[in-house]
Amino acid sequence: MIDDVIRARRTHKSFGPKPVSRAVLEELFELARWAPNHHRTNPWRFRVLGPQSLERLKEAAGPAEAPKLERAPTLVLASAALSGDLIQDEEDVCATACAIYAVLLGAHARGLASYWRTPRVLRTRAGREALGVPEGERVLGLVHLGTRKSEPPPPERAPIESFVSQLP
């Protein structure tokens, strides 16, 4: 049941060494295609980092931040292609976030560990150039994927009453 998958998914920061297969990555990206998307612009862009692109990104990040990029054996850059229309771009960024979440849930359902983060280097020109991100795309982060080393405990969540209200 989807409720169980949503409640059981965790952020992992420790991964086994085995990379995620191309076939499984394609399954995850196929799920991303089903994210809600106004006007069906399909704005999401996923780039699987190879060893050379990872080295370029680590160099751009610098020695203090580079080790954090080595946590998982498979890294996927997620970005949204923008049109220049402010309203459409806002919707497309949200749609891309939904697509990323579909990848995270799909990974969890397959027994994989995942971690979505946006390191500072991705907000720099050097980081964008290291990964070939063109102008007109907004980077939403890196998705770290791999096998689980452990199962993090469930995080505390705010009570529903703290974020839901009834409007008159």
Could you report the per-residue pLDDT of 121-135, keeping only the tens digit for each? 999 999 999 999 999
Tell me whether residue 80 is in a domain.
yes
Q: What angle do CA 73, 76, 82 make, to 5 degrees?
A: 170
The pLDDT tens digits for 37-57 are 989 999 999 999 999 999 999
pLDDT above 90 coverage of the chain, percent = 84
Domain assignment of residue 160, yes or no: no
Residue 156 counted as domain residue: no
Residue 152 pLDDT exceeds 90: no
Tell whether 149 is covered by a domain. no
For residue 97, being part of any structural domain is answered with yes
Question: Looking at the domain assignment, is residue 51 inside a domain?
Answer: yes
Q: Is the predicted pLDDT of residue 150 greater than 90, yes or no?
A: no
Side-chain half-sphere exposure of 163, counting CA atoms within 13 A = 4
% residues pLDDT > 70 (the chain):
100
**pLDDT of amino acid 1:** 83
Phi, psi of 145 (to 5 degrees): -135, 145
C-alpha pair distances (Å), 10 with each of 91, 112, 116, 166: 26, 10, 10, 30
How far, CA to CA in Å, does 116 sit from each of 9, 76, 86, 113, 135?
A: 12, 9, 25, 11, 22
For residue 34, give the CATH number of its domain: 3.40.109.10
State the residue range of the domain holding 83.
Answer: 12-143
Q: Is residue 34, in this structure, part of any structural domain at all?
A: yes
SS3 23: helix
- Name the domain count of the chain: 1
Report the pLDDT value the prediction gives residue 23, as an integer from 0 to 100. 98
96 or 159, higher pLDDT:
96
Report the mean per-residue pLDDT for the chain.
95
Q: What tens digit of pLDDT does each residue of 51-103 get?
A: 999 999 999 999 999 999 999 999 999 999 999 999 999 999 999 999 999 99
3-state secondary structure 41-95: CCCEEEEECCHHHHHHHHHHHCCCCHHHHHCCCEEEEEEEECCCCHHHHHHHHHH
Predicted TM-score (pTM) of the model is: 0.93
